[in-house]
Every structure is written in C-alpha cells, then in structure tokens.
Chain A
Amino acid sequence: AQSVSQHNHHVILSEAASLELGCNYSYGGTVNLFWYVQYPGQHLQLLLKYFSGDPLVKGIKGFEAEFIKSKFSFNLRKPSVQWSDTAEYFCALYSGGYQKVTFGIGTKLQVIP
C-alpha cells in the first residue's frame, strides 16, 4: 500500500517567518510527488510537483520542495511567508503501481500579519 503522512496539522506563523511543512510517504517504487494548496473557499490548486530529475523543485508563489529519496520525504518550504499564504496544504503521492493519487491529511497554515 502507499500512504502519505503530514506531521503538522495546524501551523501558525507570523509574516516573514520561514516555513517548512513535513511530508513523508511510504512506497517502495518510483513515485510522483505533489503539493496542493487550498485557499479558503477555493479549489485545490497544484503548488509544485516532482516527477524525476533535480530533487529540488520550485513552484508558484516562492514555494519549493526537496525530494529526499533516502528519507522518503518531500518537505515544502518557503523562506518568508505572507498573510496571503494562509491556506491548507496537501502532500500527495502517485505511483504507477497503484495508479492513483494518495493524499495526506493536510496542514492548515495560518499566517498572522
């Protein structure tokens, strides 16, 4: 089976603070990894994705994530958050073996002005 764990369920930061959201997965084969964001009242949007190649991927709005295969991790980072980053963030995994996307439980980020 494949699974995704997000360890921080609710994070509160002040503006300009640095952000790191943890994501670990379990699957032994080749994976595609995603971070989705859901702003209040809006649909899920793709923030960034990893398919292959450079393990450090850059997404929209200054977000980046690093795939560390040995740690089965794909943590999301942003050096300086803004109030507009307040949203829920979901890590997701796709494997060719199971041919489906599995999501983590999500992390609610609240940025205080």
Chain B
Amino acid sequence: ETGVTQTPRHLVMGMTNKKSLKCEQHLGHNAMYWYKQSAKKPLELMFVYNFKEQTENNSVPSRFSPECPNSSHLFLHLHTLQPEDSALYLCASSQDLGAGPRGEAFFGQGTRLTVV
C-alpha cells in the first residue's frame, strides 16, 4: 500500500463509451500525475497537476481529459478512445515539484484499460 489508490483496477470500454479513472492520495502531497504504461515503451507522462493547477500536458489527445478538484483527487475522463489507447494508466503523487526528496513519486497500482 503506497497511499495512492486507483479505481477501477480493470476497465473494458467500447470506442463510443465515456468512462472515468479515479486516483486518490492520502499522503498530503500537492503534485499529482497521470502516466501511461504501454508494452515495450517507456512510461509516458501525460499530465501534471501542482496545487490543483495543471502544469503540464504532454501533447495528450483531447479524448483524455484530466480533472483535479483538490490536491487529494485526480480524475482522467475518457471518451471516444481508440484501441491503441489500451494500456496501464498509472497515477502518482509527490510532495511537490521540487528537486530532492520532495519530488519523489509514489505510484498507485494502475488501471488496466482495454478499448474494444
């Protein structure tokens, strides 16, 4: 248990569906992240939020829409996805974006997404 909880753990959705991934952290951290983990590719940083403000959007298609209502919760809203979006989506948090120990990231267990 890392203190970062992701739900659901598994999700199968059609290309016309709308679904949301949820991430919750109880570590008192101010920065939260979405990563995409695909086979044979490095972890891809998608979005970064710091103090509820989005600080990075790594050229992610608009069919992925993040939401950060407070420092403890992060959502990833999904709509009209493609089969190539099937991957493990990881949420992480860190104390803030500073270097050193404050930037150490704690990861959730991920949501395994399959788009059919």
A residues at B contact (CB < 8 Å): 4, 9, 30, 32, 34, 36, 42-46, 49, 51-52, 90, 94-96, 99-106
Contacts and interface: CB of A to CB of B under 8 A. Distances in A.
B42 A106 contact: yes
B78 interface: no
Interface centre among A32, A42, A99, by most B CB within 10 Å?
A: A99
B75 to A, nearest CB: 19
Contact of A49 (B55, B104, B106, B109): B104
A33 to B, nearest CB: 11
Interface of B: 2, 4, 33, 35, 40-43, 45, 48, 55-56, 90, 92, 97-101, 103-110
B93 to A, nearest CB: 12
Contacts of B35: 103
A103 B42 contact: yes
A100 B48 contact: yes
Given A45-B2, A46-B104, A101-B105, A94 B99 contact: yes
B45 A104 contact: no
For A32, A101, A105, the residue with the greatest tally of chain B CB atoms inside 10 Å of its CB is A101
A106 B38 CA distance: 11
A75 to B, nearest CB: 18
Given A32-B103, A43-B110, A100 B2 contact: no
B103 A94 contact: yes
